[in-house]
Amino acid sequence: MPRLVFHPEEVKIISRRFGQGAADIDKYIALDGYKAVQTAIEKGVDWIIAEMKASGLRGRGGAGFPTGMKWSFVPKQSERPKYVLVNGDESEPGTCKDHVIFLHDPHAVIEGTMIAGLAIGSKMGFIYLRGEYRYLLKIMEKAVADAYAKGFLGKNIFGSGIDFDIVTQTGAGAYEVGEESALMESLEGKRGVPRIKPPFPAVVGLYGGPTVINNAETIASVPHILLMGGEAYAKVGSERNGGTRLFGISGHVVNPGVYELPMGYNLKKAIYEVGGGISNGRKLKAVVPGGSSTPVLTADEIDVGLDFDQMGKAGTMLGSGGIVVIDDQTCMVEFALRTIKFYQHESCGWCIPCREGTDWLKKTIGRVHAGGGVAKDLDNIRYLAENMLGRTFCPLGDAAAMPTIGFIKKFRHEFEDHLNGKPCPYAHAEEPALV
């Protein structure tokens, strides 16, 4: 179980109840829980949407789409029921932020789901956790049951005449169902493969009804935003990137953990001050800034702000906020092999560019790492990856291709050091196990 960490430069908004026993509903209520949803009922849909737009909250799952705008896309009138779907299928390597929310503040997820339901006119929400989070499912199920027992869920919530129900569900441990349309397929009891778009979920989603799908951290932020006000929340972050974010700092750092930092916080400071610097007195070689699907940054590229726009200008992405720190004793070819093995294993096989592309990348990078590669392999690796980009039904193909292109582009010299039977310069490193 991850230990709670603290740094003076953290801004505690979404994590302010962590470590205070807020999984207990009475404690959550004592800490201003369920006040935001009652205010939302009183002030109505237009106020909710306006506050969310003013907050500058962008999707914390990785896409970074403005949340208030996403909610406003749902049609006001619909013949089919509308749904709210919370994506807690946190399967991106290097990412562990949703885990601590479910563990320490599950009622924030429930309350945020209710507010999203009010905003779009939905009476039903689903909270979907990754398959490996079975022990967190028990916590979430108890929180939902306690909310029903208090009369906060079900018929006539808070005496408002509004009905709202929540169902919890876990997946079967498939990374693919983190993609929103595959998540809906899984929830409907089908194989978790992506749907072709359009239509988009806001119009035709779960069970054919208009659906809002948000990451668990996004949803858990909502009650805090309504309590403090959208404009006040926006001011905490950077331009066009409102509020704070839970960043999981892991890898070769002295103080790994999940920290809540303002959007736009400097990556270099996050590593050397919040994370305590590189462990064992080593030097920094590289950083994966937003989970394994984001392109790598070298040690010379980390003086940049942690928000969607600044990361984009730096040639990478903020992604899911999983900052993986890599020291100078790490073989980047081995790291690339470990990464592509994960995506090859998790590809659903639905489309050829992803199914075949990830397999050939794994074979080629594996051959290079084993010392059996030739110079042409390096060009083939990049060619394969570039031809996967934008040619798959869902972003899993891109998630495999983008980091691979980054590795071969920025650390080509390390790949070259493995060619023509040369042993790995980091021979102490064992062959990585399948992630």
Return the CATH number at 100: 3.40.50.11540
1 vs 179, residue with greater confidence: 179
Distance between CA atoms of 322 and 247, rounded to whole angstroms? 6
Mean pLDDT along residues 112-136? 96
Query: Is 155 within the bounds of a domain?
Result: yes
Q: What is the total count of domains within the chain?
A: 3
Query: Is 171 within the bounds of a domain?
Result: yes
Whether 149 and 176 map to the same domain: the answer is yes
Tokens of 15: 């994590």
Return the CATH number at 306: 3.10.20.600
Query: Is 430 within the bounds of a domain?
Result: no
Look at phi and psi of residue 259 and say left if phi exceeds 0, alpha if psi is from -120 to 50, else beta.
Answer: beta
Mean pLDDT along residues 311-339? 96
Whether 261 and 115 map to the same domain: the answer is no
Query: Is 38 within the bounds of a domain?
Result: yes
Whether 228 and 261 map to the same domain: the answer is no
Mean pLDDT along residues 263-270? 98
Query: Is 18 within the bounds of a domain?
Result: no
User: How does residue 173 score in pLDDT terms, banded at 50, 70 and 90?
Assistant: confident
Whether 227 and 350 map to the same domain: the answer is no
* Whole-number pLDDT of residue 17: 97
* Whole-number pLDDT of residue 428: 62
Sheet holding 322-327, edge to edge: 257-262, 244-251, 322-327, 284-288, 297-298
Whether residue 430 is predicted with pLDDT greater than 60 in this model: the reply is: no
* Three-state SS annotation for the chain: CCCCCCCCCCCCCCCCCCCCCCCCHHHHHHCCCCHHHHHHHHHCHHHHHHHHHHHCCECCCCCCCEHHHHHHCCCCCCCCCCEEEEEECCCCCCCCHHHHHHHHCHHHHHHHHHHHHHHHCCCEEEEEECCCCHHHHHHHHHHHHHHHHCCCCECCHHHCCCCEEEEEEECCCCHHHHCHHHHHHHHCCCCCCCCCCCCCCCCCCHHHCCEEEEEHHHHHHHHHHHHHCHHHHHHHCECCECCEEEEEEEECECCCEEEEEECCCEHHHHHHHHCCCEHHHCCEEEEECCCCCCCCEEHHHCCCECCHHHHHHCCCCCCCCEEEEEECCCCHHHHHHHHHHHHHHHCCCCCHHHHHHHHHHHHHHHHHHCCCCCHHHHHHHHHHHHHHCCCCCCCHHHHHHHHHHHHHHHCHHHHHCCCCCCCCCCCCCCCCCCC
45, 136, 234, 246 from 54: Cα distances, Å: 14, 32, 7, 20
Query: Is 400 within the bounds of a domain?
Result: yes
Whether residue 354 is predicted with pLDDT greater than 80 in this model: the reply is: yes
Whether 117 and 60 map to the same domain: the answer is yes
Among 327, 344, 365, the domain-final residue is 327
Return the CATH number at 409: 1.20.1440.230
Look at phi and psi of residue 160 and say left if phi exceeds 0, alpha if psi is from -120 to 50, else beta.
Answer: alpha
The strand pairing partners of 129, in sequence order, are 88, 170
Whether 319 and 214 map to the same domain: the answer is no
Among 180, 209, 236, the domain-final residue is 236
* Whole-number pLDDT of residue 153: 98
Whether 41 and 180 map to the same domain: the answer is yes
| 364-375 residue pLDDT tens | 999 999 999 999
Whether 383 and 405 map to the same domain: the answer is yes
Whether 264 and 128 map to the same domain: the answer is no
Distance between CA atoms of 297 and 2, rounded to whole angstroms? 26
Among 236, 263, 288, the domain-final residue is 236
Query: Is 158 within the bounds of a domain?
Result: yes
Mean pLDDT along residues 69-98? 95
Whether 297 and 354 map to the same domain: the answer is no
User: How does residue 433 score in pLDDT terms, banded at 50, 70 and 90?
Assistant: very low
- Give the structural domain span for 401: 332-416
* Whole-number pLDDT of residue 421: 84
The contacts of residue 310 (CB under 8 Å, 6+ apart) are 238, 264, 304
Whether 231 and 273 map to the same domain: the answer is no
Whether 132 and 260 map to the same domain: the answer is no
* Whole-number pLDDT of residue 432: 44
Whether residue 221 is predicted with pLDDT greater than 90 in this model: the reply is: yes
Query: Is 426 within the bounds of a domain?
Result: no
Whether residue 429 is predicted with pLDDT greater than 90 in this model: the reply is: no
Contact 49/72 with Cβ under 8 angstroms? Answer: yes
What value does the mean pLDDT of the chain take? 94
